[in-house]
Chain A
């Protein structure tokens, strides 16, 4: 089932069972740009089926990838269209395409700390048989922003980086005021405990809010959020980051000056974010 959210933008929700991210389609008079490749051929084909059921007209002119992680990339080749990504993403996907994806190799990489268990578990669930797995690297790569005119609607691909993946790109549809943030606002999950750094997250927050967007999609959130909610959420992250920084990344001291936020948003969430800033500093 594909959902329409604006005159030109459609999306499918994530599926947490196998870590399928949100996918999107931007439809113009010339054709369609798909956002994210999906985490498998099956995921990509499910999206194609949703497009067909919604009678989305026009050829697929491209697939935009937000970053190199498997769940955003593995289905991209299914669309048979140019794959757009930052040059950093292209290099990482090309490297990933040369890896051994057997159970043994995956287990070994987890043991060596090169992969995380969360990805291994979801990958094995989504793709129990990975023989013949073909990972298609992007064939249009950019270092600065790139814009694609789909006819009556444009898509801007802007590399932004961040803690989660340094190659992160966001996808902005200015005519519909929609921003797909991919995973860029999530912490780094790949180097021990979840990590945020004020050095990366704070400028990223400013960049995200500089887009004239009213609707924001995070790749693993169940639904999009409004600008007001995004501003509130990001302001909270900044408040927590500043509290951690101003207390020398001392957990108790930081939490003690976040009492108002804890009362309002709940202790668990605030503690989690404080812990991520402390981990990021180490």
Chain B
């Protein structure tokens, strides 16, 4: 490598297959992937910010010696598509539903935020205030992490251009190079209604997008928890040993099982809260089963409030 990426760490999982893992303090805010298919380069997701996205493009060019021909978008959330504009020669691929959500949800929200980012600024203030109110706690750490995410989003907004996928699929799509093939599999609904994963069967590796949150609380506001369980079961049915999640470190089948347990625990908690007609704050006070109750995850408080707020609607 002729340059050191500032926003992510590169982890070579097999010859020509790299996970680009969000670096603490960087502006990536999610994970991505680079795959050399033999004469053709594929990139999986492009982080939150244009600066991290540009670094990803440079990494892909340098590592593989080719401009990316294929860019796969796992789902429509901004933290996975921010750098897509730096791949102008790539065919951009997603599920049909992800493109629809990008056109609909982001197409209506993003221009407004670019003109007037006050909702983002408001959230930064709110998070900083929350952190100031409970210094030194996990909640404060989470609030500060969210505020930093929002600051990076705010900074990237003026330069961020929404680039829509041009090739969409349902079910399964495969891409073939001279040395390896990869499968794109639609496992939605899970984290969103349009998630796809990338599988390298020969290398027993999968890039899961945000179906995988390893060691960090999943964001479930756009999700379908029961569909998510089915998607995690589908991951465990794959001939795969190494999983690159959308957030968190590269993991194993055990991490997928742990997350399955977490999603099930949330489903049980929500069912219990609905049955007993609990308020959001009462539901938030319910303990999760171990090991989840003791997770030292700064995102937990913030995410739990957002997730339960949505799931209890």
Contacts and interface: CB of A to CB of B under 8 A. Distances in A.
Contacts of A30: 166
Nearest to B175: A140
A140 B173 contact: yes
B97 to A, nearest CB: 12
B164 A149 contact: yes
A218 interface: no
A151 B92 CA distance: 13
B172 interface: yes
A34 to B, nearest CB: 15
Contacts of B91: 61-62, 82
Interface in A112-162: 137-151
B194 to A, nearest CB: 13
Contacts of B167: 140, 146-149
A220 to B, nearest CB: 28
Interface in B153-200: 164-177, 186
A146 B168 contact: yes
A82 B177 CA distance: 10
B200 to A, nearest CB: 15
Nearest to A140: B175
A164 to B, nearest CB: 23
B34 to A, nearest CB: 18
B176 A144 contact: no
Interface residues of B, number: 19
Contacts of B164: 149
Contacts of A90: 174, 176
A157 to B, nearest CB: 9
B166 A141 contact: no
Given A82-B91, A149-B164, A144 B174 contact: no
Contacts of B96: 147
Nearest to B167: A148
B176 A137 contact: yes
A144 B175 contact: no
B196 to A, nearest CB: 12
Given A138-B176, A140-B176, A145-B169, 9 more contacts: A62-B91, A90-B174, A90-B176, A140-B167, A141-B174, A142-B173, A144-B186, A146-B167, A146-B168
Interface of A: 30, 61-62, 82, 87, 90, 137-151
Shortest 7 CB-CB contacts between residues of A and residues of B: A144-B171, A144-B170, A139-B176, A149-B166, A143-B172, A141-B174, A146-B169
